[in-house]
Amino acid sequence: MDFKKIKKTFSHFFGWSGLQICSLIVRVIPSSSLYGFANMVSSSAYRFATKQKNIALDSLSIAFGRDRSKEELDKIARDCFTFMAKSAVELMFLMDKPQLLKSKVDIAGRENLENALSKNRGVILVSGHFGNFPLLLGKLAVEGYKAAGIMRPMRDSRVEKIFLQKRKKFGVKTIYSQPRDICVNSTIQALRNNELVFIPIDQNFGTAGVFVNFFGRQAATATGPVIFAQRTKAALVPCFILRQKDDRHKIIFEPALDLMEGKDSKETVLINIQRLTDIIESYIRKYPAQWGWIHRRWKSQPS
């Protein structure tokens, strides 16, 4: 009997069931109680989701262990869980209310996005699992932009189907990272149509990426944004969505990053992925609780 498979099946079932229950609760409670409910969920998660909590604390120790106390790291981890719970209930509540989403999310640096679009070669939005990043794509869609996101499908196909339907309802195109040839062709076509393509590069990419410095340690990182920019001449625009103190959100578009040329294509990719990673790291340092620490970012290491 494959106990690992059985454990995974039960885990997916309880995850899907929990999502269904939370979705029902979000639909019936008053909007003024949303964040209170999220705080309750995050407190329970921090107490019982020990695996995810330990990953978060380990990751925080790698990034900030020399500069911050254990108490400070624990505070960041707790806040991270709180923000993730808030993001989850917001998605279930707002993704069926486009006008409310539109009014709850502000944009700073729109001129940087418009300048990039004016070149008619498409825009690669480089970001990470930062803040309530699905709302970033939702906001762009309700503002009239043609937006797509390159995403890994969730492990549970039932959960993936729920969020895929919500993205479709908003007009956000999903480009799955696999199969690779379909992903590449779909991305290039979207950029040639002068669309926006959101590509997060802040998760472990194994042996398929390049190793760059991230918080003083080598991290395997996806190369897609720079390779697509080389092939299509699309603009590279770093962007982030930040939760504000009143639980509103602000999207920040940085100026487009001009590619810095290396001695060959391989070095060009390495140099510019490092530059993009440095920008992501700078935002995480400013707003540490708003990044997803429950991922083993440094799992792959150079041989």
The residue ranges of the chain whose pLDDT is under 70 are 1-21, 23-24, 26, 28
Return the axis-axis angle of helices 34-48 and 70-94, rounded to nearest 10°: 130
Residue 21 confidence (pLDDT): 64
- Number of Cα atoms under 13 Å in the Cβ half of residue 94: 25
Instruction: Round to whole Å and give the CA distance between 279 and 243.
Output: 18
Residue 111 confidence (pLDDT): 98
Contact 280, 127 (CB under 8 A): yes
Instruction: Round to whole Å and give the CA distance between 77 and 53.
Output: 7
Closest CA to 19 of 115, 188, 155, 209: 155
Q: How far does the chain reach from its first CA to its final CA, in angstroms?
A: 35
Residue 4 confidence (pLDDT): 54
What are the tokens at 174? 């999903």
Rounded (5°) CA angle 260-266-267: 45
Residue 10 confidence (pLDDT): 44
Residue 288 confidence (pLDDT): 98
Say how far residue 224 (Cα) sits from the centre of its chain. 15
Residue 3 confidence (pLDDT): 47
Q: Which residue is listed with tokens 């040639």?
A: 192
